[in-house]
Structure 1
Amino acid sequence: MTGFVAIGDSFTEGVGDPLPDGTFRGWADLVAAELCSPDFGYANLAVRGRRFDDVVTRQVEAAIAMGPSLVSFSGGGNDALWRGFDLAAMRDRFDRAVARLRASGADVLLFRFPDMSARLPLPRVLRPRIVAMNDLVTEVAERHGAYLVDLFDDRALDGHELWSADRLHLNPLGHRRVADQVLATLGRAAPLPTPSPSGPPGTGPALLADLRWASAYLAPWLRRRLTGRSSGDGILPKRPVMTSGFESPSGPPPDRRPG
């Protein structure tokens, strides 16, 4: 069986697009529902909170063993948020991981990260790292002939409308937007129109909203970092086995083309 295997962290797991049973759907499930057939399967090995080396160690070889024709690979975003982030080391590790996936015969789908600095603290620290990571991903995609989904230049993702309250994860509309971008990149849908920006980047909500966000989301994130814990501790991949004829789980249907 040929098929699609999605690997990565919370972005690919679908965090921010909850289903009634407490699990997550996300862009990869939405893409799989368009691609899958009785002869084309889908698996999703992504787990929230995983850093790059975790993704490579726990997911890359497992994905290759399934013999997919397409693998989506997104990793390194969690690493870029840590102090002491080593871009040169990341470049070498990223290149080796994509080379391994391409050597298996699979097509590979990579992503240029959205500009998270528009919503998070310390934009002067974050934005250069995001730009550097995106340059790295672009180089690797060109070197190995991978598909590249450019989320950084998607102006719809600059505002708050497509993001969850935690400002880190896409909401259902955001996941639908990414799914449509992926399908367009794969030639399975028309390119999305470029929306008008909702406002200049960095124009966040009022100070009170920022303080509430810091208390509800930033403080717990910092505590996990300080104690060496992860949001993915104890979490297993939601779709560890390739299943053919996949249909997207039900949930509130998002507008197909927000923005």
Structure 2
Amino acid sequence: MSYERFVVVGDSCAEGLDDPYPGGGQYRGWADLVADGLAEHNRAVRYANLAVRGRRLDQISTEQLPDAERLRPDLAALFGGGNDVLTPGWNATTVAARVDTAVRRLADSAPTVVTFTLSDISDRMPFGRRLRPRIEALNEAIRAAAGTYGAILVDLWPDQAARDLRYFGRDRLHLGEHGHRRVAAHVLDRLGLPYARPWLDPLAGAPARPGPRAQADWLLREVLPAARTRLRNRIIGRSPGDGFLPKRPELLPVTTR
């Protein structure tokens, strides 16, 4: 099938953190790579990315879905839920309802919808095993909504690449260059579009396990500052992502890089 109007909604993973274009500046990410892949098959494709880092599913529905509906996509993708998992006051029933609402509205707007489960962070993040039940509940809700509304599901939960830190950025939470390429390949594969890239092949060599010194440095450099920022935002009533705008708010032709 040939797509001409590709719209993405979601959080930082949909925006493209942590995969900057060469030379810095704007983030690339799996969605830009999928748009490039679509353009290789149809030069008429146009692409919008409404995702904003830090957004929960209810914020995505309120802030991004009205614009997505206005753009009338024939292919839409939703990558979200990670910030719901990290938010104090987690409630599985509430989050499942948010998932259902977001996927239903997107499916009402686009004939083809792609959505994603989250990968297993339990081996690479502090307190990851404590978050695992939340991620499993979120993923079950995403699978259920995909089945109910006929969305294409990219199931990242069983992907063994989640155990290889080379797929992730410095914070080990956001995907890095290799991770975004891998997700893009999963999407193109599920859409039935060929791609002449080995992005789903395992990375060469064995993944290195960080030693105690590297672990301590990572905790001081990445984890503690992020925790302080989240606590400060809670105190002042600020949400992560406040003040950020979508990187590509309108449908524009795709210029492959």
In which range does the TM-score fall when normalised by the shorter chain? 0.7 to 0.9
SS at match of 1:118: coil
2:182, 2:200 within 8 Å by CA — same for their partners in 1?
A: no
Q: 1:164 aligns with which of 163, 169, 174?
A: 169
1:22 to 22, 25, 36: 25
Percent of aligned pairs sharing the same letter:
43
Partner Cα separation in structure 2 for residue 204 and residue 41 of structure 1: 41
User: What is the aligned residue count?
Assistant: 245
Q: Distance in 1 between matches of 2:6 and 2:200?
A: 26
TM-score (norm: length of structure 2): 0.88
Distance in 1 between residues matched to 2:89 and 2:147, nearest whole Å = 27
For residue 126 of structure 1, report the CA deviation from its aligned partner. Answer: 1.2
| 1:129-172 CA-partner distances (Å, limit 9, x unpaired) | 11121111111111111000011111123211111111011111
User: What's 2:194 paired with?
Assistant: 189
Structure 2 equivalent of residue 7 of structure 1: 9
Q: Which amino acid aligns with 1:119?
A: R
1:108-129 C-alpha deviation (Å, 9 max, x unpaired): 1010111112210112211111
The equivalent position to 1:208 in structure 2, one of 202, 209, 213, is 213
- Report the counterpart of residue 79 of structure 1 in structure 2: 84
Q: 8 Å contact 1:4–1:42 — kept in the other structure?
A: yes
Equivalent residue for 1:218?
Answer: 223
Please tell me whether residue 154 in structure 1 is matched to residue 159 in structure 2: yes
Aligned-partner SS, 1:116? coil
Tell me the distance in 1 between the aligned counterparts of 2:101 and 2:240. 26
- Between structures 1 and 2, the one with greater helix share: 2
- In structure 1, the residue matched to 2:244 is 235
- Write the deviation string for residues 68-110 of structure 1: whole angstroms up to 9, x where unpaired: 0011011111110123211101111211221111122431101
68-77 or 225-234, which deviates more? 225-234
Indicate whether 1:136 and 2:141 are aligned: yes
Q: Counterpart amino acid of 1:90?
A: V
Indicate whether 1:93 and 2:101 are aligned: no
C-alpha spacing 1:198/1:64, structure 2 compared with 1 (3 Å): farther
Instruction: For residue 54 of structure 2, give the secondary structure of its aligned residue in structure 1.
Output: coil
Quick one: which amino acid aligns to residue 100 of structure 2?
D
State the shift of 1:24 in Å: 0.4
CA distance in 1 between counterparts of 2:73 and 2:67 reads 11
CA drift at 1:230: 4.9
Question: CA offset at residue 198 of structure 1?
Answer: 5.1
The answer to whether the 8 A contact 2:6-2:46 is kept is yes
User: Where do 5+ consecutive residues of structure 1 fail to align?
Assistant: 251-259
Instruction: Give 1:233's aligned amino acid.
Output: D
2:255 aligned with 1:247: yes
DSSP-derived class of the 2:6 partner: strand
Mapped to 1, the partners of 2:231 and 2:95 lie a distance apart of 22
AA matched with 2:34: V
Cα distance, 1:207 vs structure 2? 2.3
2: CA distance, partners of 1:124 / 1:15: 23
Match status 1:180 vs 2:188: no
Matched residue, 1:57? 62
Contact 1:156 1:194 in 2 (8 A): no
CA contact (8 A) 2:123 2:129 kept: no
Partners of 2:243 and 2:214 lie apart in 1 by 31
**Change over 3 Å in CA distance of 1:105–1:51 after alignment to 2:** closer
Shift in Å at residue 189 of structure 1? 2.8
